[in-house]
Amino acid sequence: MKKTVSLFLCLIILISACPVTGLAADTKAIEMTPQLTDAVYQYLDDIYIERFPGFGLEFSFGSEKDRDILQKLADKLTKNCRSDREKTQAVVGWADRNIKYRSYTGGTYYFPIDVFYYRTGNCLGLGLFISQVLRLAGVNAVFCAGTRGNMKDFINLDGRETDHGWVMVYHDNCWNLYDPLFDVYGTNDREFISRWYFTDFIEGVSPYYEGMNCEYVLYGDSIFYIDGRFIHYRSGMPASEYYGTAAEGGTSLNGCVPYFSKNRYAAPGGGGDGFQYLSSPERRDDMVNDECYSDGWIGYGDSIWSYAHKNGIMAGCTVREVGGEKLYLPFNSAPIRLPGDASSYSFTCGRPTFLIGEKYTLPEPIWVESEKAEGRVITYECLTPETADITKDGRLTVKAEGEVTIAIASRDYYEDPGCMISGFIELYFIEKEKEYDYSDNIAGTEDLPDMNIIALTDSTVGVKSGVSAETLLSDVLGACVKDTEGNEVSGDKKIGSGMTVSLPDGSEYSVVVKGDLDSNGEITASDARLTLRASVGLEKNDANWFISAGNITQTDIKGEVLTASDARLILRGSVKLENTDSWFYSGK
């Protein structure tokens, strides 16, 4: 069971839109998902209701300034709500209308404050945003990650990837699943959840209870909740036994969101790695068999190192207070002292945000002071030269807006190839202060331009062998193709709606692939979902989308409206139950 995140949408989106064809033998997933679903509900009750009440209300990412910004949104959205159910519907509905979905991981946002500011995110970003805003509204909400799809037909226990995220919300005395990307707006139907959802992580932890299929742990490398403890297991055994030594184990979602765990191990014969709680050193002898630290600061000797949540997962990309001092906790490095009040900084992409042009003392990890006192030198290297430079003695010059990452190390002398301690300083710089928009951009309909829709044929652009959906760039001879942002397309890429084709004779065509609303040149279930949402006003019917979907049962698509029937036909086309060969058009 691979514990990674690729975050692509599964094939089946509209459950009732088209029937599943063919017969498939039951997979391991469908055999155990009823057990897993029951375990999820039991774990949520055990941890978030019984053992740590209030844990599902904690604000997890960013600073107090970020919290205040999102608190204002939560208060605005839930002002007139009379129950937790109504609060949930208000927050999820606002997110559904205002957050634009982006499926790829490299160009989207994950942290709640970024999703709110940029109004975009994928399932991970949307889920974290919804859960954090609900918590600020006083509603118990927990982010989950796993696989979404028909367990009977597609999913096995091994060789899978964690590719989707959703939210479990507590209202009406039970946990309810919300997944607006798949139009699930609050269900506690365990049979439905067992059929369509395989939960890998509940905020970084995999639940396992007696009686479950042991292969769930056998295929995993994760923090498992077993026998009331949070333990790092690898391939069915405690991680230290698997690796043959005391080791560190981590859990992260695509390396972007701080679901990271650092464990203390004690071998059966004794010994350990020296980590201990500053506040509860008596816990040291209890930490055996790879159990995680939880609920407190972790230190080595007299130094603090990081902060563990109640579920054993380390805090990251946030600010925490210890000994009256507020410290910035990076994703995977020692705490950092920020100039002034750490809680006054807003975060961008999980990093404290600074204004370009203002003078600052370079933020440094808390170990720097003691290392200097030992007579060691501190070295710096800028890993983002496109945005900043840094001198030998740590003077930073910022050249452009964006992320700045500094590698920092303690050495005996400047050219020393080894180091005593190393880490990273991760910051973000912007040109001007951000202004947050609390408005509700309810989807509407725009006027359509007068476009002449004609078929793309061999004679128009010189196509090698006919043209249809999924036409490749290499199929179009002698033409310049640009994407929706005006960038020239290169390589063997599929031509999608919104692209332009410029011919040697100077003529230019706007490409429209009927049924392709996301401009990737393919007819997929994602397009069907967008069409369905547009048909009920949850997406804007802008010109490109309108003409792309049109009414695919007609030759002349201009002037038609988007309907649920279009969505169903697009979905059928995505699984080859409809012939899409005639769905490729262009407008001159």
Q: Is the pLDDT of residue 534 over 80?
A: no
Task: Please state the rounded mean pLDDT for residues 139-162.
Answer: 76
Query: Considering only 56-60, 102-106, 229-233, 271-275, which range has the smallest mean pLDDT?
Result: 271-275
Q: Out of 73-82, 489-498, 511-520, give the one with best mean pLDDT.
A: 73-82
Q: What crossing angle do the helices spanning 64-77 and 123-136 adopt, rounded to 10°?
A: 80
Q: What pLDDT score was predicted for residue 488?
A: 79
Q: What mean pLDDT is predicted for residues 332-347?
A: 88
Percent of the chain residues topping a pLDDT of 70: 65
Lowest mean pLDDT among 38-47, 253-262, 316-325, 380-389: 253-262
In sign, the C-alpha dihedral spanning 538, 540, 541, 544 is: negative
Higher-confidence position of 184 and 355: 355
Backbone angles phi, psi at 153, to 5 degrees: -105, -30
Higher pLDDT, 526 or 252: 526
The CATH code belonging to domain 328-430 is 2.60.40.1080
Q: Which residues of 225-235 are buried (b: 16+ CB within 10 A; e: fewer)?
A: bbeebbbbbbe
261 vs 123, higher pLDDT = 123
Q: Which segment, 247-256, 342-351, 520-529, is predicted with the most confidence on average?
A: 342-351
* % pLDDT > 90, the chain: 31
Q: How far apart are CA 188 and CA 458, in angstroms?
A: 53
Query: In the chain, what are the domain boundaries?
Result: 28-219, 226-308, 328-430, 453-587
Structure tokens that stand for 40 in this block: 């999820």
Give the pLDDT score at 465: 30
pLDDT bin (cut points 50, 70, 90) of residue 86 is: very high
Would residue 486 be called left, alpha or beta, if left means φ above 0 and alpha means ψ between -120 and 50 degrees?
left
- How far, CA to CA in Å, does 64 sit from each of 126, 255, 327? 21, 24, 12
Is the pLDDT reported for residue 305 higher than 80?
no
pLDDT at residue 314 is higher than 50: yes
Q: Which of 27-31, 113-117, 148-152, 553-557 ranks highest by mean pLDDT?
A: 113-117
**In angstroms, how far is the first alpha carbon of the chain from the final one?**
49
Sheet holding 229-234, edge to edge: 184-187, 174-179, 164-171, 141-148, 197-202, 205-207, 221-226, 229-234, 237-238
Residue 549 confidence (pLDDT): 52
- The three-class DSSP label of residue 533 is helix
Q: Is 6 helix (H, G, I), strand (E, B) or coil?
A: coil
Confidence of residue 154 (pLDDT cuts 50, 70, 90): low
Q: How much is the mean pLDDT over the chain?
A: 74
**Calpha distance 198→193 (Å, rounded):** 8
> What radius of gyration do the chain's Cα atoms show?
26
**Helical residues (DSSP H) of 106-189, grouped into ranges:** 112-118, 123-136
Q: What's the rounded mean pLDDT across residues 270-296?
A: 56
Lowest-pLDDT range of 117-126, 310-319, 444-453, 463-472 = 444-453
Place of tokens 């370009």: 356
C-alpha distances out from residue 360 to 181, 327, 355, 365, 403, Å: 42, 16, 10, 15, 16
- Tell me which amino acid residue 120 is: T
pTM, two decimals, is 0.68
* Confidence at residue 509, expressed as pLDDT on a 0 to 100 scale: 65
Q: Does position 355 have pLDDT exceeding 60, yes or no? A: yes
Helix, strand, or coil here: 189? coil
Helix 64-77 to helix 84-98 angle (10° resolution) is 110
> How far is 46 from 39, CA to CA, in rounded Å?
10
Residue 104's pLDDT band (boundaries 50, 70, 90)? low
Please say if the pLDDT value at position 248 is more than 50. Answer: no
Other C-beta atoms lying within 10 Å of the C-beta of residue 215: 16
pLDDT of residue 13: 20
pLDDT digits (tens, 9 = 90+) for 454-497: 333 333 333 323 334 445 554 554 567 777 777 877 666 677 77
Distance between CA 95 and CA 114 in Å, rounded? Answer: 13
Beta strand 197-202 pairing with 388-390? unpaired
Per-residue model confidence as pLDDT tens digits over 203-214: 988 898 888 877
pLDDT at 558 over 90: no
**Predicted pLDDT of residue 288:** 53
pLDDT above 60 for 400:
yes
Least confident of 7-11, 233-237, 286-290, 542-546: 7-11
Pick from 197, 144, 137: nearest CA to 166 = 144
Residue with more model confidence, 258 or 148 = 148
3-class DSSP string for 371-426: HHHCCCEEEEEECCCCCEEECCCCCEEECCCEEEEEEEEEECCCCCCCCCEEEEEE
What is d(CA 218, CA 228) in angstroms, rounded to the nearest whole number? 19
What are 32-67's pLDDT values in tens digits?
A: 788 899 999 999 999 999 999 999 999 989 999 999
CATH architecture assigned to 28-219: Roll (3.10)
